[in-house]
Structures are given as structure tokens and as C-alpha cells.
Structure 1
Amino acid sequence: MCLEYGLAQLFAGLGCIPPPGGRKASLGESCALRKVNIHQQASTTADTMINRRKGLSVALVTPVTLLLLLAMVSIKPCSGHGRLIEPPSRASAWRYGFSTPPNYNDHELYCGGFNRQWQKNEGKCGECGDPFDVPLPRPHEFGGKWGQGVIVRRYKPGATITLRVELTASHMGYFEFRICDHVQAKQDCLDKHLMRIVSGTPSIPHANDLNTRFYPRNGSRIYDMKAELPADLNCNNCVVQWKYVAGNNWGICPDGNGAVGCGPQEEFRACADVSIGAKEGQDNRPSLRPGQKPSPTRGPNASTEPSTTDEPVEEPPKGVQYMGPLVAIMSLFLVLCGFAALYIYHYHGGRIKALMRWNREKAQKNGTHADPPSPTTVTVSDVEANAPVPPPRTKRISNQFRDIDAQESSVLSGSNKRQSPLDIGVNRKPSGRD
């Protein structure tokens, strides 16, 4: 025990450690193990310093990245989600020559947004895409700003009509089309006539697709569909409702599993005023307000033939379609420029600073920099006051010098000590006083 204690103290004094397993080892083996441990600690320290440097780099890049992402999120594109363009909806009729108030946000009839619809209004929405909690009449419902009841298309009962939707930001999901035979168009009336989709282009059919829904699986573009009108429906002022239920949110499915497209989703809606089987000149719409007659039907008349052939419809303006991609490209370019600037500053900042310093020094040597400002006026008194003072001079005692002989020592001691002229002058007695 005493020997083991002594060896432990010796190893501790030499900075060595015993081998693992508790076995005895020589002093050289223990010191070798100590060296290995030191190398491991040094490697760990170096890795820690590298990780700290990387962490510092991440800490520097992260705030700027967050700012760039915040700037990208805050950029709102000029065209947003989707609109009903055939038949033109109440919000988009002004784009096709009808005398209705312009609505430049006709692509944003999304019930006020996901949070407003599902958190504040418990999933409720206006029939034509307005927030459910706005005062009646809502802006796009009959009696509102855009709900003027202007007939945009005329059809025959049971006809196959063309429906056209422009998506500027596809959110997957599906379309549904309903029709009501009353201009007020409450949701109960609309649900009575869910239109059957005959065909649609472009489309990617699936075995589980319903014939009352169209699934826009081809991204952002214009979708053409064919749908059947009810054969027994006749009305002077019917309302076609487009309902778009998106499918890009995560939710709980009916079987209890979670997946994208299940649960509450964002919704878009739009309404269009049409006529089915009505005679020319008849109009049984109620007045917009008490004592006020509704405005007559304005705008071009649509074809009354069944839509077995394509109906002439004006195309939407092309210039607006390119604003979204242009804004996206510019945003991506700005983000890339920001990352490039961060990379250059972090990894090549020292070289850039050295190059700038070298250019400044070179410019100073060549005299390209501006001359320094001229000094203030100096008077003669200032020069005299600041004149340098000469150092004191040692007074020369004598101009006589004597050479030292070869046999004579330069050390003045003993008999060879010679008197200096000053001593001679001091010891000399004055003449005439013996």
C-alpha cells in the first residue's frame, strides 16, 4: 500500500497518469498516456474554438437573414390568389367592359383570411367572399358596393356552360360551383343546385375525384371547365357562386391522422350575376334600397346558345400576370446580393481593408490627397520665443598639449606623475618673496 501510494504521488508530481484498468505500469508508459491525454485536450480545445467561430458566424448571419426573410414576407405581390373570370364575377366585371366599380383586389376574396374566418367567425364566410362579420349588406352581396346585379351572361336551361378561373397563386384544393335562382343568393339557396363538372383543362384526374369538384393540380394558371346547368331552372337574375377550398394547410383528417389538406382550410368565393331562360327586357330584381329602382342591365350580352362550342370571352390583362414573378425574381436577387455581401465581408474583409489602406497610403505618397490646411499667422516674437537654446560649452583650460613618451606611463602615479599647468601655476611662488 505504501509503495502504491508513493508511486501515485510520483506520477502526480511528474504529471503522469496510470494506465486504465487499474494495472501497474512503468513511469514511461504513464507519461506516454499523459501525452496522449494532452493531445486529446488540445484537439478538443481547437474544435471548441472552431465551433465558437462558426457559432459567431451564425450569430452574425442569423439577424441579417431574419431581416431579409422579413423583408420578403412583407413584400405583397400585385396579384394574389384567384378570381372568377367566366362568367365575370361582381368584383371582376369592370375588367371586361361592364359599368361596375373597379375592385383592384378582386383576387383576394378569401373571407377575410384564415385566422379571421376560423378563429373569429368560427369558419363562417360571406356568400361572395366577404368577411362574415362585416355589416350587411356586405360589399359583394346584392345591395353592396359591387353587388349591383349587373347581368354578365345569359344561358338556356340545362345548357353546358364554360367556367373559367384564374389562379395567380395555387393552393391546391378544389373548386365547386353553385347557382341560386334569386339575386339575394343565400347559402341555403346556393346549396340546392351544386353544378356537375363535365370536363376541365388542364387537369390531372384521380380515381377518388368527385364529379361536382374540379381539382387544380397544375399550379398557377387559367383553368377552363364545363358544367351543366339544372334543366328545370329559370330565372331572370341568377347568381353563380365559385367556391375554392384550398388544400395547403396541415390538419386532422376524419380518420384521426394528420395530413396536408385536412382540417380547416383557406377559402375563396366569388359571385356572378347571370340569366337563365329569361325573356329580353324582363327584370324581377328587387330595388337596391327602399324607394330606389335597380339599374338596368349594362354591358355586352352573352351568347344564349348552349356552351357546346367555346364562348367568346375576353382574356384577362397580360401585364398584371408578370408582376408576381417579377417581384419574386427581384426579391431573390436582393437576397443573393445580401448573402454575397456577408460572405465577402466575413471571409475576405481583411484583404479588402488592406487593399483600401494600401490605396490610401499610395495616394498620400503621390500627393493626390488635399494639402493640409495652412498654419495660422506667426509673428517674429513667437519665433524668437520658440527659438532653440544652444547647449552650454565647456571652457577650454589651456591650449598646451604634450605628447607622452614611449617609456612614460599614461597612469599618473608615483614618480612619473606630472603636474598640470594649473598645479604649476598654483604652487609657483610669486617673484620677490623668498
Structure 2
Amino acid sequence: MEQLHNKNTHGVVRFITCGSVDDGKSTLIGRLLYDTKAVLTDQIQALTKTKHARVTASDAAIDLALLTDGLEAEREQGITIDVAYRYFSTVKRKFIVADAPGHEQYTRNMVTGASQADVAILLVDATRLDTSKSNISLLAQTKRHAAIVKMLGLKHIAVAVNKIDLLNFDEEVFKKIKEEILNLANTLKLPTPQVFPVSALLGDNIVNPSKNFNWYQGPTLLAWLEGLDISSEKSGVNLRFPVQYVARQDGSAAEDFRGYLGRVESGEIHQGQQVTILPAGSVATVAEIYISNGLNSFGQNTSVEMAKAGDVIALTFSEDVDVSRGDMIIAQDNSSDLLTKQLIADICWLDHDALSTSRKYILRHTTNTVFTKVKNIIQILDIETLSQAVEADSLGVNMIGRVELALQKPIAADLFDESLATGSFVLIDEATNHTVAAGMIREAL
């Protein structure tokens, strides 16, 4: 899980579209690509001839959703199955967008896409809601995706109320839906979302302002994205360098090389700096730092004085110390109680076999793996009512709950609210090697 570290409003923005099936997520991304001229002419020509087009409206010449639905099964069924990543840019900034599937059975793919995002765009299909009632009920999958966005700690959230064109661009309908969206955000304690009335199919209020929304005075969706400050908001921890690989080249004393490779997840590391290696607690001095030149190549004759978060590096130490894959290198003056064998975590269960408190799982945290057991299911989120059920004894596919984990050996962990990279983990079934859950650390006991 990556973060952006330059404090400006012109860096690359990673965003994900999420929500229930058929809300128009793929079409919205296709509209962004089409209206920002990010689609080649031959692509457009090919799409006009596709046999799986879902568009029948005379206003739309092509099915824009096909710009992201790359799998043949997706085109035939008219749904998104896997996360599709697309790149586009404007004169103001660059974007990487993930189109997440809306079907409940593909929730695991949505979690994967959202874990890499800076921004979430949640779509709501206005035509599928009963706006004749005073209290509008949003779809269950919309609530589930909103809850996952909350779990993953995304700070920038937009809600696009789509297909308003099919409701005659009715301002009162939009206001009712917006009120329910804000109620949902308040219940989940989400950051207050920016709510947009849009028509993804026709392009209203996506890239260009729409005369059909003469009652709307806010920015277009793209203008809002271009103006975001996506500075890292989880930078409360110092140096974190999980060791991914130990490289050894034996030779004469002058040529002997032992380097420790990985990515700096947070903070900075300098030549001559004293660091602590966890879990052993050994102290060492950084001798050389080599930045990757690409394709896992490190220029050993061109060491640098400093590396920062996001850099893929190789380190050498002045001392002969014992370092292995999965160890965490931190600043020596930052060696507070990071080691823990008990965690309280929020997890999204992704496997069809329910969570079992009687079996062991593999917890993968940064580059470290350790056996763990779920001691207790503290509570489960009821997606329909958004209430927390207690005394639960099972967690099924796509359910969200808070659990207590007991680890076989200690790991160097931060809280998820302080560090995305070192505060998150996945659980793996030892027998099947399936990823069964994505987790966020809330407490280290």
C-alpha cells in the first residue's frame, strides 16, 4: 500500500470508483477518459463496432464502460469482475484510476483497489432508490463499500449521484439523496463527502459543467479532483524499513558485500545513522545506501547520502549484524514499544469459508509472516442497519468485523491510523494459500 509524500496539489492522484452493481462506475471512468482525450481514435472506432455494447441511447455513440471492462466475460455479462486500472492526465495533474467491481461476490477485488487509493468516488444510481418516501434507503452494497472506505482510512471521498438525467435533472430528488448520503457518512464517521449530481452516460458535470444542472453551483467532478491536496495524512511514524531480501556476495575482504533490500515505507534514512533492527533490538550504523536503478538493479558504485519514503534501496552496515527477511529497521531514537503479539484489528473477510477461531492462519505484515489465531470476534458490522452486533461467533464472506488476534511471535506494528503500510496486514489460509482477510490494526496490546 503506497502513499504520496509531496505536499502539493499537483502530484499523481490515485482514485477508485466503488458502489453497487450497475451504478455506472465503468461508464463514469470511460467518460473521464473520453472527455479528457485520453482515448486513441482507433480505440473509439473499435468500440463502436463491439458486439457487446450496452448503450442504446441515441445521445451516446459508444459504450464508454468498455474502455475499462477488459475481460471478455465482463463485456459479455455487462459487469465488472476484476479491478481495472487506467491512466489519464490533464494540464493540471496526472491520475491513476481503479474501476472496482460492484457485485458483492467480488468485494475482495474492491478492497484490493481501494487499499492503493488516495480518493474514493462512490456512485449512487438515483433511479434505483425510492425517492417518494421521506427516508431513502441506500443499497446494501453502497453501504458496504462506504464502510470499507472508512476502514481503509481514505480521507478524500466524493459521491456521484448518477443517472439524474433519467429523472429529468430533478433538484429535489438530488437533495433527498444527498441528505441520506450525508447521514450515512455521519453514521460511519466518514470525512464529509463532496456530493455531485452527474450523468456519466451523457457527460453532465463529469469533466464539463452542464446547463441541465443550472441549480448546482459546485465544481465538476474532474475540477474537484484536480484541486485536491493529496499530501500524506498518515505520516505520524518515523523510519520504517521492512527488510525484503538479504543479498550476499562472498569474495575477498575488500569485495565482500552484504546488503539489505526493501522499500522505505516512512521517514528517512541517512548514511552514518544509527538504527535499531527489530525484533532482535540490535543497533547498527548505516554504511552505504544504494538506490534502485530499475529492474532490481542497484548501482553499488553510486551510493547516496539519504533515502526517503517510497525509495527502493539496499543498505549496508558498518557492523556485522544478524538481519533477516521480515525484520524491521527503525531509527534508534524511535525504538518505543513497537513489538506486539496481540492485536485488535478490523478485518474484511474475503473467503467463502467462514472465519474459524479454532484454526491457525498466516498473518502477512509488510515482509514478515507469522502464524496467528483469532482469539475473539469482538463485533460485526450489520451492513443493513450499520449497527455493531456483539457476541458473534462467525464471520462470513464480505462481512466486516473487529477481532482480537494472538500471534505466535512478535511483529513491529503501528496503528493503521498512523501508518498505512505498517498498520495493515492480510490473513492467509495455511492449507489453501488463499488470502482470506484484509486487516487494519486498531490496537496493539
| Same fold, TM-score > 0.5, yes or no | no
Structure with greater helix percent = 1
Highest Rg: 1 or 2?
Answer: 1
TM-score normalised according to structure 1 size: 0.21
TM-score normalised according to structure 2 size: 0.21
Structure number with the bigger relative contact order (C-alpha 8 A, sep ≥ 6) is 1
